[in-house]
Amino acid sequence: MLLHPSYYLFIILLTEVKLVENITVNYVLKNQQLAFVQTQQYIKEQSVKKSLSVVDIFALGFMTFAFFLGAGNIIFPPQAGLSAGTNYLPAMMGFLVTAVGLPLLGIVAVGVGGDGWKGLTRHLPVKVSTLMAVLIFIIIGPAFAAPRAGLVAYEMGVVPFLGETNQWMLAAFSAVFFGISLLFCWSQGKLVDMIGKVLTPVLFIGLAILAVSVFVAPQSEIVAPIGAYQTQAFTTGLLDGYNTMDTFAALMFGMLIVDLIRKRGIDDAGATCKYLIMAGVIAAVGLAFVYISLFYLGATSSAVAAGANNGGAILAAYVQALFGPMGQVILSSIVLLACLTTVIGLTGAASDYFSSLTSLSYRTWAIILSVTCAVVANVGLAQLIAISVPVLVALYPVAIALIVLTFLKKYFARPAMAYGSVLAVSLVFSFVDALKAISISPEGWPSAIQPLGEAMNAGLQLVNTQLSVLSFLPGFSSGMSWLLPTVAVIVLNIVAVRRAPQLGRETTA
């Protein structure tokens, strides 16, 4: 049977269309495969480009080390070493735990938590998280750490060359010192190059010369320990490490370092965390090297630093004995660079955070904080340290607890409850320790307000008498009352809260 010719024409056309369609599909598929390969190659090339060189990694690590190495890191280890005497090794180990180990864990916690401070405190109410950050930045910024760095730079780096000094000289130095710091802070994107590749290597060379000299030529025999170092050397060293304020600084420097890493073109979260941890490890090794040498310096300084009442005086006397007149020049260079780099880091980190909370720019905040630091520095070093001790005793355990929670959060069935309860308990019991650490000496006060000081002392004694009911807690006498209750609440949140739903199901059954 013959079909109509139009039918055959339709079959031919349909075959040709199908052929064209197959050719088109194959062409599109080949182009998609080519595009995919090219995209993968581009991603690979970009990932190679967006990585830090070995030089950049060490520069980042040296910058982190320089940010940490400030006034407290220089003046407290020699004093602790001299007081610890033959017990300097356990005291030094305690100091290294809180002055090196905790800051390193803080840096790692920022990397593990992701997204800086928000990542660390994502299980806390936003207002609580913000309040904690503001308090920490005030402590390590204009209230204590930064002005203290300026004061140490003045007393150890400048005063020895001036002879007699007065308040106006301190005011002038503060204006110049914090002005120079402000200029560095304004060049925010160049901090790694300026500090990590220029200032810190010079600083590290000076410290290395001092450290080698201390071990090669110790200046005296190690004498017997005094005070709390006789029976509680490790714990006392542990608490001495609080004075560096580096655990606070680690949480905030971590955010600044993350920002600097991203400015280098590293956007991947995993790579950012890796470089942050590398920088933290380099800084920790450098800090440990400095602390060990300064502790040994203090332990072997009894003959050359007799009568010295602070770590700065011990260090100055030791360097004078080692190097003669040139020793003061070396010491002044080390102290000025160490304190300057720390103030730059503190001011930069605080300015960066406060600018994210307000409508004021980074540069505006840098000016505000630098001026405030210059004013507070005129209070005097001894007074500033005395005021800071109770504040650090109250808030340091909270920072420690936050770091620990960051590593344990995967074990909490209810993270928000765990974070809130653990931090609240650590704050309450550390506040008890802080009340015991307050010391008021109204003898030097103006006569008009001396009665007020005496009344405050009487009130503190009454409060401390009432607090003695907690003396059964381990560490109560040494300022560690917070430890056992905080650990207990952490364990409860891991064990009891996790088991609660299971127990409920068993009862129902």
Number of separate domains in the chain: 2
User: Residues 208, 247: one domain?
Assistant: yes
Rounded average pLDDT over 196-219 = 80
User: Residues 395, 301: one domain?
Assistant: no
User: Residues 129, 252: one domain?
Assistant: yes
> How would residue 358 be classed by pLDDT, with cut points 50, 70 and 90?
very high
Predicted confidence (pLDDT) at residue 74 exceeds the cutoff of 70: yes
In a domain, 19, yes or no: no
pLDDT for position 229: 93
For 507, half-sphere exposure in the C-beta direction (CA atoms, 13 angstrom radius) is 6
User: Residues 423, 317: one domain?
Assistant: no
Predicted confidence (pLDDT) at residue 5 exceeds the cutoff of 60: no
For residue 375, the 8-state DSSP code is H
pLDDT for position 32: 43
Rounded average pLDDT over 115-126 = 86
Which domain-ending residue is among 350, 379, 408? 379
User: Residues 369, 387: one domain?
Assistant: no
pLDDT for position 423: 95
pLDDT for position 27: 42
Which domain-ending residue is among 379, 406, 426? 379
Q: How far apart are CA 110 and CA 279, in angstroms?
A: 12
Neighbours of 172 (CB within 10 A): 11
pLDDT for position 448: 67
* Of 105, 59, 104, 62, residue with least CA distance to 402: 105
Amino acid at 370: S
Alpha helices by DSSP H, listed for 358-482, are 362-376, 381-408, 415-437, 450-467
Q: How far apart are CA 72 and CA 243, in angstroms?
A: 6
In a domain, 6, yes or no: no
User: Residues 417, 509: one domain?
Assistant: yes
Q: How far apart are CA 391 and CA 46, in angstroms?
A: 47
In a domain, 3, yes or no: no
Residues spanned by the domain of 389: 382-509
Q: Please report, rounded to a whole number, the percentage of residues in the chain having pLDDT higher than 90.
A: 30
Q: Show the CA angle centred on residue 119, arms to residues 117 and 121, nearest 5°.
A: 70
In a domain, 34, yes or no: no
Least confident of 50-59, 128-137, 212-221: 50-59
* Of 335, 462, 419, 412, residue with least CA distance to 70: 335
User: Residues 354, 462: one domain?
Assistant: no
Which domain-ending residue is among 335, 362, 379? 379
Distances (CA, A) of 34 to 44, 45, 358: 15, 16, 48
User: Residues 425, 407: one domain?
Assistant: yes
Least confident of 43-57, 149-163, 385-399, 489-503: 43-57
User: Residues 226, 373: one domain?
Assistant: yes
Q: How far apart are CA 391 and CA 388, in angstroms?
A: 5
User: Residues 336, 396: one domain?
Assistant: no
In a domain, 14, yes or no: no
User: Containing H/E element for 31?
Assistant: helix 5-49
User: Residues 364, 256: one domain?
Assistant: yes
Residue pair 152/343 in contact (Cβ under 8 Å)? The answer is no
Higher pLDDT, 31 or 442: 442
In a domain, 43, yes or no: no
Higher pLDDT, 15 or 326: 326
User: Residues 299, 395: one domain?
Assistant: no
Higher pLDDT, 254 or 399: 399
> How would residue 15 be classed by pLDDT, with cut points 50, 70 and 90?
low
Rounded average pLDDT over 408-413 = 90
Backbone angles phi, psi at 9, to 5 degrees: -65, -40
Mention every residue, 6+ apart, whose C-beta is less than 8 A from residue 213.
Answer: 322, 323
pLDDT for position 13: 46
Most confident of the following: 85-99, 115-129, 234-248, 340-354: 85-99
Count of residues in the chain? 509
Least confident of 8-22, 101-115, 307-321: 8-22
Q: How far apart are CA 12 and CA 8, in angstroms?
A: 6
* Mean pLDDT rounded to a whole number for the chain: 81
> How would residue 451 be classed by pLDDT, with cut points 50, 70 and 90?
confident
Least confident of 46-60, 109-123, 295-309, 368-382: 46-60
pLDDT for position 37: 46
Predicted confidence (pLDDT) at residue 194 exceeds the cutoff of 50: yes
In a domain, 26, yes or no: no
The number of helices, as runs of H, and strands, as runs of E, in the chain is 22, 0
Tokens 């304004």, located at residue: 186
Distances (CA, A) of 45 to 39, 40, 53, 86: 10, 9, 15, 58
Q: How far apart are CA 431 and CA 395, in angstroms?
A: 8
Mention every residue, 6+ apart, whose C-beta is less than 8 A from residue 405.
Answer: 418, 419, 422, 423, 490
User: Containing H/E element for 490?
Assistant: helix 483-508
